[in-house]
Structure 1
């Protein structure tokens, strides 16, 4: 009996997920998705210990930490070919493609200027503010857009408030919460009401290469959640109000090509919120 107990104790899957640092909504959604993927697979895999790691890390450091599996072993990131090679990629879009729709934060003095924009070429004449480690930065630069880069996420909002650049694209589920959290320090920043960008991009779970069992378990759990509709329920639980507020149907939607995204590589297109 002691041997059996020791095996069960040893076989507990320890999942170390970084608690998302920029958005409480996103942090809650990330942890709920991973927790449910682990819970729904308990009959096959047994007990688990989900540890939410509260630490601030740059994107690069987080990725390196995920490689070793010591500090964190599970990451949720935009799909990326380089990360696919470095980690175990679970190519199930946990946000069902919602990441691909971006709204714009702008300085309120530019509201009339943005309202008159009707083409991507007109948008290209303006400057986006982005961090130097985002996938969006690489995509826009590759597409010939003007970009002002910084290594400091919070600094972007202050720079926009001072009108150092023209717009800051953020996802539907990030933009409102991020602005609300900074309303006391930003006098001039607003959500632009007429434009949305569609940059095809999916959020995937990446697991340290040292944890293949955890990767297999989470993948199985996500497949179950996708099939029973719970993945979509979790999305609307955390982001439903933002999706309604964004009013995509009432906006001009500009398509921006993402050369890092392979439409044929995603076997779950039928599940995407806005699949064509």
Structure 2
């Protein structure tokens, strides 16, 4: 009898382990690009939002970073391609990206990607103090990475742009005065300042650039079922307030420090995105300064 009981327990245990193992391996792995940044200041926020949305589908998906680092243009190609190695990324929306990928139209940034304050060197902290208009700003050189949409947005507004090959190179170029200012989103800049604390850089105090845009999750066309689930999960965490709590947890302090109301706002147009595609009808999704 004891042998029978022991044998039954062993079999049951083996079946349980096998079942758990099969369950663990049944999760669909979703690859996203590993950042090229030395320290990515907002990866924790993105992953907390992503995991909150995917918890609406327990154990169905397992997000994983890619093995290699991807600059933005290559990451988009890998997500778009029928044979690409990436399934998901998060980036600024453009008409082209919305046509080639599946946008999840809930702005992760609540539109703050389009509110930009700048890095300057500490020797040029008041360089933009007298800037009151777009024409005033055209006298100075901005820095941007060559494959970022921001580069074309700034240029389309007749601003001078000096482009760099990589994100980290931009900081080095600013340090050696290859350009005058490096615009960054208000939710990005403070973490980036901390990540480059050894550099002679500081946050410019006088102006803020603004243009309509959004920062979305984009899904590969190869993963349409995942896109539907991710959209559903995002809608659920917006509805139950979880998204807003996560956003405030990570970005409340940055928004307060940006002090937009005390800055001169320089309005820019955004020719890369049809503003009618932005969900402006849903006020709860947008930051209001």
What secondary structure, in the 3-state scheme, does the structure 2 residue paired with 1:178 have? helix
Q: How far off is 1:138 after superposition? A: 0.5
CA gap 1:78/1:86 in 2 versus in 1, 3 angstroms: same
Q: Is the 8 A contact 1:102 1:171 kept in 2?
A: yes
> Is the deviation greater in 53-62 or in 126-135?
53-62
Q: How far off is 1:17 after superposition? A: 2.1
Aligned to 1:135: 149
CA gap 1:133/1:208 in 2 versus in 1, 3 angstroms: same
Q: Is the 8 A contact 2:214 2:278 kept in 1?
A: no
In structure 2, the gaps of 5 or more residues are: 1-14
Aligned to 1:108: 122
Q: Is the 8 A contact 1:90 1:219 kept in 2?
A: yes
Aligned to 1:255: 267
Q: How far off is 1:275 after superposition? A: 4.9
1, 4, 16: which is aligned to 2:31?
A: 16
Q: How far off is 1:55 after superposition? A: 2.9
112, 133, 153: which is aligned to 2:167?
A: 153
CA gap 1:70/1:113 in 2 versus in 1, 3 angstroms: closer
1:39 matches 2:52: no
Aligned to 1:271: 284
Q: Distance in 1 between matches of 2:149 and 2:90?
A: 14
Alignment of 1:183-222 (within 5 A): 183-184=197-198, 186-187=199-200, 189-222=201-234
Aligned to 2:131: 117
Q: Is the 8 A contact 2:77 2:84 kept in 1?
A: no
CA RMSD of aligned residues (A): 2.3
Q: Distance in 1 between matches of 2:166 and 2:40?
A: 19
- The normalised TM-score by structure 2 is 0.85
Aligned to 1:78: 92
79, 82, 89: which is aligned to 2:103?
A: 89
Q: How far off is 1:265 after superposition? A: 1.7
Aligned to 1:57: 70
What secondary structure, in the 3-state scheme, does the structure 1 residue paired with 2:154 have? helix
1:68-116 superposed Cα distances (whole Å, 9 cap, x missing partner): 4653201101001111122122222122111111111112232333111
Q: Is the 8 A contact 1:96 1:232 kept in 2?
A: no
In structure 1, the gaps of 5 or more residues are: none
Aligned to 1:241: 253
24, 27, 30: which is aligned to 2:46?
A: 30
Larger radius of gyration: 2
- Number of equivalent positions: 268
CA gap 1:7/1:182 in 2 versus in 1, 3 angstroms: closer
Aligned to 1:230: 242
Q: Is the 8 A contact 1:19 1:31 kept in 2?
A: no
Q: Distance in 2 between matches of 1:217 and 1:7?
A: 22
Q: Is the 8 A contact 2:213 2:278 kept in 1?
A: no
Aligned to 2:11: none
